């Protein structure tokens, strides 16, 4: 057996052994559906608000309740009710409390995560105060991954057209943040110090977005990549991706069954392994040559994610590649404009209005494309 293959074999054997051990520990739940329980915990993520309802998680259990009283990240909560299990539940532990008695017992001490989440909420308010509802929802989703203020018909249109991923914070956010940030810092301070500072800021951004799986995966990959640079080592994409996903699974084994984790990992794998090959093929077709890179990247990600989407939603729109091609090129520019809107809005409402006007046109175009293709 080749030495390299042997190392990989032993590495994977060790990983799967550790993973099964961790998964077994997580699946060992001391309660069952029908039990009356009382949960006391600190809210680790802002609730999802839809109309007159809100939902959030306490110790892994979903709480579905009225919008009021409002609860926020960092609140000490107590919820009491009867445990229920969603229909179609698999072997995974999945419980929820429907309209339990919820009471606020105070706030935790102010921490960096508390300030970052509150800062994110402030940025959301700036976006929604300078753009119309649908445009603001789209911008907040692109920049901050938030969907709380999104109207149901827009959410359904995004899902139907296969463009929902644009309002989910992803590795693209980290890539667009880390690269320019490191380039700027490297001009001001030494390269190694710039890398260290850039990674701190990247993880602050990831923490602000509640360490969503796609964001955390990208932040860890960026860490490996830039640390390898600082040490003068090479870092291969597939090795970095595998190590990042493996670390996340060992810390949180149930992530393997998380849809956003699956889609993020598969999309990244598709981009790394298929995109360049597909781009070369499309470059040979004269008509497709101008859009070959975008087409290659879009299809590269779709090839591996489509089976998962079909399995989970029993739905796939084969025409989804068209709206994706028509709008994806605008996302980096909208992220930059979104950053300008947010940070100028902290000091000058006029400047924020100017940048909002510039963002309004591409945002309206994207909404128009989504609406058009949702009817097809």
Question: Can you tell me the distance from the alpha carbon of 223 to that of 129, in angstroms, rounded to the nearest whole number?
Answer: 35
The confidence band for 371, taking pLDDT boundaries of 50, 70 and 90, is very high
Neighbours of 152 (CB within 10 A): 9
pLDDT at residue 108, as a whole number:
67
Assess contact for 137 and 149: CB atoms under 8 A: yes
Task: Provide the percentage of residues in the chain whose pLDDT is more than 90.
Answer: 15
pLDDT at residue 226, as a whole number:
82
Name which of 22-31, 115-124, 151-160 the model is least confident about.
22-31
> 101 pLDDT exceeds 90?
no
> 54 pLDDT exceeds 90?
no
The ranges assigned to domains in the chain are 36-109, 118-374
The confidence band for 8, taking pLDDT boundaries of 50, 70 and 90, is confident
> 89 pLDDT exceeds 60?
no
Strand 36-42 and strand 48-50: the pairing is: unpaired
Average pLDDT, the chain: 84
The token duo for 56 is 């959030």
pLDDT at residue 234, as a whole number:
66
pLDDT at residue 352, as a whole number:
94
> 231 pLDDT exceeds 80?
no
The confidence band for 103, taking pLDDT boundaries of 50, 70 and 90, is confident
What Rg do the C-alpha atoms of the chain give, in angstroms? 22
- Give the bridge partners for 98, in sequence order: 64
Residues 6+ apart with CB under 8 A from 161: 317, 320, 323, 370, 373, 374
HSE-up of 15 (CA within 13 Å, CB side)?
A: 17
Residues 6+ apart with CB under 8 A from 281: 296
Neighbours of 206 (CB within 10 A): 24
Q: How confident is the model over 140-154, as a mean pLDDT? A: 83
**At which residue do the structure tokens 């603001």 appear?**
136
More confident position, 317 or 352: 352
Task: Output the pTM of the full model.
Answer: 0.80
Neighbours of 352 (CB within 10 A): 22
Q: How confident is the model over 276-300, as a mean pLDDT? A: 85
Question: Can you tell me the distance from the alpha carbon of 105 to that of 75, in angstroms, rounded to the nearest whole number?
Answer: 7
Strand 75-82 and strand 53-58: the pairing is: unpaired
Burial group, residue 263, by CB count within 10 angstroms (0-12, 13-18, 19+): buried
The end-to-end CA distance of the chain, in Å, is 54
Nearest partner of 359 among 144, 205, 143, judged by Cα: 143
Residues 6+ apart with CB under 8 A from 322: 373
The confidence band for 90, taking pLDDT boundaries of 50, 70 and 90, is low
Q: How confident is the model over 81-103, as a mean pLDDT? A: 77
The token duo for 187 is 């001009």
pLDDT at residue 91, as a whole number:
58
> 342 pLDDT exceeds 90?
yes
pLDDT at residue 149, as a whole number:
72
pLDDT at residue 111, as a whole number:
74
Residues 6+ apart with CB under 8 A from 115: none
Assess contact for 131 and 138: CB atoms under 8 A: no
The confidence band for 88, taking pLDDT boundaries of 50, 70 and 90, is low
> 1 pLDDT exceeds 60?
no
Percent helix, strand and coil across the chain, each rounded to 5? 65, 10, 25
> 74 pLDDT exceeds 60?
yes
Residues 6+ apart with CB under 8 A from 106: 75, 76
The confidence band for 338, taking pLDDT boundaries of 50, 70 and 90, is very high
For 36-109, CATH number? 2.40.50
Question: Can you tell me the distance from the alpha carbon of 18 to that of 16, in angstroms, rounded to the nearest whole number?
Answer: 5
Residues 6+ apart with CB under 8 A from 187: none
Question: Can you tell me the distance from the alpha carbon of 333 to that of 139, in angstroms, rounded to the nearest whole number?
Answer: 11
> 325 pLDDT exceeds 90?
no
pLDDT per residue over 205-223, tens digit each?
888 887 888 888 888 888 8
DSSP H or E segment with residue 296: helix 292-313
Question: Can you tell me the distance from the alpha carbon of 157 to that of 375, in angstroms, rounded to the nearest whole number?
Answer: 9
Whether the bond into 69 is cis, omega within 30 of 0: yes
pLDDT at residue 341, as a whole number:
95
């Amino acid at each position: 057996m080749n030495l390299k293959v042997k190392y990989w074999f032993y590495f994977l054997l060790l990983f799967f052994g550790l993973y099964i051990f961790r998964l077994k520990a997580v699946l060992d739940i001391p309660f069952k559906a029908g039990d009356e329980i009382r949960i006391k915990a600190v809210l680790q993520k802002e609730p999802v608000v839809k109309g007159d309802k809100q939902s959030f998680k306490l110790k892994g259990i979903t709480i579905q309740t009225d919008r009021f009283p409002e609860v926020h990240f960092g609140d000490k909560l107590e919820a009491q009710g009867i445990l229920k299990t969603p229909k179609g539940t698999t072997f995974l532990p999945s419980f929820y409390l429907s309209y339990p008695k919820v009471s606020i017992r105070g706030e935790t001490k102010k921490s960096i995560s508390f300030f970052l989440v509150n800062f994110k909420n402030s940025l959301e308010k700036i976006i929604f105060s300078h753009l119309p509802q649908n445009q603001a929802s789209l911008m907040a989703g692109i920049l901050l991954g938030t969907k709380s203020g999104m109207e149901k018909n827009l959410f359904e249109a995004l899902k139907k057209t296969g463009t929902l991923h644009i309002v989910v914070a992803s590795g693209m956010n980290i890539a667009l943040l880390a690269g320019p940030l490191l380039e700027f810092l490297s001009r001001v301070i030494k390269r190694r110090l710039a890398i260290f500072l850039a990674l701190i800021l990247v993880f602050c951004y990831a923490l602000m977005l509640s360490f969503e799986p796609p964001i955390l995966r990208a932040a860890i990959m960026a860490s490996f990549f830039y640390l390898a640079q600082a040490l003068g080592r090479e870092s291969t994409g597939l090795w970095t991706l595998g190590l990042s996903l493996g670390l996340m699974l060992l810390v949180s084994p149930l992530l393997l069954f998380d849809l956003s984790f699956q889609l993020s990992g598969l999309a990244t794998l598709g981009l790394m392994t298929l995109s360049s090959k597909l781009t070369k093929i499309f470059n040979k077709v004269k008509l497709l040559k101008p859009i070959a890179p975008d087409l290659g990247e879009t299809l590269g990600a779709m090839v591996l994610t489509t089976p998962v989407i079909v399995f989970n939603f029993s739905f796939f729109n084969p025409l989804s590649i068209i709206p994706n091609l028509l709008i994806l090129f605008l996302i980096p520019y909208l992220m930059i404009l979104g950053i300008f809107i947010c940070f100028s809005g902290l000091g000058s409402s006029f400047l924020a209005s100017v940048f909002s006007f510039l963002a309004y046109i591409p945002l309206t175009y994207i909404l128009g494309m989504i609406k058009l293709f949702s009817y097809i």
